[in-house]
Structure 1
Amino acid sequence: MSRTDQPAMTDSAPEGDIASPPINAERLLQLITEEYESLPRQLKRIATYMSQQSDRIMVDRISDIAQECEVHPSAIVRFSQRFGFSGFSEMQALFRQAYTHKTTPAQNYQQRIRSLIDNKSQKASAADLARECINATLSGIERLGLELDDQAFDAAVDLVVNADNIYVVGVRRSFAVADYLVYNLQHTHKRIHLVSGLGGSYREQMRSVRANDLVIAISFSPYAKETQQCLRIAQLHQAKTLTITDSNLSPLVKRASTALLVNEGSSFAFRSLSASLCLCQALFIAVAYRLELKVDGIHEQVSFED
């Protein structure tokens, strides 16, 4: 067969072995999780976005998703066909069907931010931009309240209450969340360690982790390698692990005894930390409540004042 006789490769060529599309959005997300490891690199980016932003898909344009995932729109088409759809519109209809009777905070925010960007005739004021940041933060916190996994949260509280030592690791953007959680947990009688990695000493700071300890790892896409390394060390030492991350597709989930998921709102490519901080505060309050039931109480820190 000559080069000109070979069949052309087009974006409409189906991928994968799924003959028909899933019956609902929940089943699609389940399939995405199951098929994730077998997906090409670009499609993995799209799968991660679908998992994290499922409540936004019904209002997203294909160009929006492509930009967020740093892929060509044709990759979105290929992703849709991989899971049995004729194209993106048919897959999007599944999410519209799922969310027809409820408008989520993320959808409201997405519509507001798109209107602000598209309205080029009116320049946004500093106060307008501030309010968009505030709205993004609110959407993340409201979504956390709607999607909090009660069973996973109870399991996380059990892990903290029963641990001998607690090691908390989070780098770069997640460091502030890790430090805040450490500050809260230091109000208990637990031995709390912030794995700061100062001077690159992650491995050294994790060396004393033992089987009855708990490692809390906090990381969001693109998932810090240092945090993943600490989780590997925790597993090697047979310690329990609790991860705070943004997707079931996160590599942290595979190494977690329990995982808590939180998705932040974002404004102009900047993601908030408020929902993550709120989740950590809620975790501490639940732990404090549980400890007060089992011991005499959580004593106040010794004052530095005379």
Structure 2
Amino acid sequence: MASANALRIEDIAARFAMQAKGPPGGMRTVAAWLAERPEELAFHTVRGLAERLGCDPGSVMRCVRAAGFGGYAEARESVRNLLRLDYQGYRPRVEALRDIGGNRLLDVLQQAAGQNLDRVFSSPLRAEIEALAPDLLAARRVFCVGVRMAYALAHLFTYRGAIAHANIQPAPNQPGLILDQLIDTGPQDIVLVISFAHYSDETLRAARVARARKARVVAITDRADSPLAEGAWRVLRAPVEGPHVMHSLIGAATIIETLLELMLAQDPGAAERMEGFERSLLEFGAYAAAVPGAAVRRRPRRRG
């Protein structure tokens, strides 16, 4: 039997990954899905998981037992216990990062970056991103809220998005402005909120205000039990795994970049708006033009 004290969440994922290599069928479907997101076991019943994956409950039970658990209840409780212990404060993370050390740290960071990117483009997250793009274009207005580290992500979405799309609103950069901007939202608007553990209170408050105004809230967050996910219209779970002290943002940035490119490809007026923006900046000298064929000057070698 599996024990929460003896396992890490990565170990459980590896067990399901092994099962995913088996013969095609419902059990393989369950195993492949749980190998990518084993923490989902904590939030679904057997029947609920089977319905989500389009298979029978028996396939779920067989998969869980093949992964070393006595039953679904044991597997779910093991994962729940691990999630309770999963988050550590900054100091233990810094110490763990230092313990990895040297060239191995670069390898670990590279591996984590690759895995997070792969997860963005795997099902079902890929499908969820693709389905959201036309809704963002059709909304009356689209807002994006993120503070602290997540402000960079919110600014990326609103700055790049507003150049091409008339309905993207500027990212509020002060707590007071967040409330000022969102109190006028309504059912025709979409509000993206971005935060990861630790979850920023300003962003949680923004989500509450948007929901109270009946706006559609899209949460870009890290976990199924994130407080941002509660009551959200859509949830995009950004992969943040890795040894990083304050989580990796590669997955979340890729989600935002992908949304922006999908929107650009689907908006018939985007090309003209972007052309006008570019022309104006060039006219007023905002960009330094590259000189074709210019070579980097090198210092002459000293003869000795």
Determine the C-alpha separation between the residues in 1 that align with 2:77 and 2:224. 24
Correspondence 1:229-268 to 2 at 5 A: 229-268=205-244
CA contact (8 A) 2:112 2:241 kept: yes
- CA displacement at 1:201 relative to structure 2: 3.6
CA contact (8 A) 1:288 1:298 kept: no
Determine the C-alpha separation between the residues in 1 that align with 2:257 and 2:205. 26
TM-score, normalization by structure 1: 0.58
Determine the C-alpha separation between the residues in 2 that align with 1:230 and 1:237. 11
> Which among 126, 131, 139 is matched to residue 163 of structure 1?
139
Which residue does 1:215 correspond to in 2? Answer: 191
CA contact (8 A) 1:195 1:206 kept: no
Which residue does 2:151 correspond to in 1? Answer: 175
> Which among 102, 111, 115 is matched to residue 139 of structure 1?
115
1:84 matched to 2:84: no
> Which among 265, 269, 274 is matched to residue 299 of structure 1?
274
Determine the C-alpha separation between the residues in 2 that align with 1:32 and 1:171. 28
Determine the C-alpha separation between the residues in 2 that align with 1:150 and 1:304. 36
- CA displacement at 1:81 relative to structure 2: 10
Which residue does 1:121 correspond to in 2? Answer: none
Determine the C-alpha separation between the residues in 2 that align with 1:291 and 1:266. 35
TM-score, normalization by structure 2: 0.58
How many residues align structurally?
214
The superposition leaves residues 50-98 of structure 1 with CA deviations (integer Å, 9 ceiling, x where unpaired) of xxxxxxxx9xxxxxxxxxxxxxxxxxxxxx9993369969x99xxxxxx
Which residue does 1:205 correspond to in 2? Answer: 181
Determine the C-alpha separation between the residues in 2 that align with 1:132 and 1:191. 40
1:256 match: secondary structure: coil
Aligned residues: CA RMSD? 3.9
- CA displacement at 1:286 relative to structure 2: 0.6
CA contact (8 A) 1:170 1:178 kept: yes
Q: Which moved more, 1:182-191 or 1:199-208?
A: 199-208
CA contact (8 A) 2:264 2:270 kept: no
1:137 match: secondary structure: helix
The superposition leaves residues 150-208 of structure 1 with CA deviations (integer Å, 9 ceiling, x where unpaired) of 44223311221111111110111211111111122112232322443515442222222
The superposition leaves residues 94-140 of structure 1 with CA deviations (integer Å, 9 ceiling, x where unpaired) of xxxxxxxxxxxxxxxxxxxx9x947xxxxx43x55344333322221
Amino acid at match of 1:157: A
Determine the C-alpha separation between the residues in 2 that align with 1:29 and 1:188. 37
- CA displacement at 1:244 relative to structure 2: 1.0
- The answer for unaligned runs of 5 or more in structure 1 is 1-10, 13-22, 36-57, 59-79, 93-113, 119-123
Percentage of matched positions with identical amino acids: 20
CA contact (8 A) 1:246 1:263 kept: yes
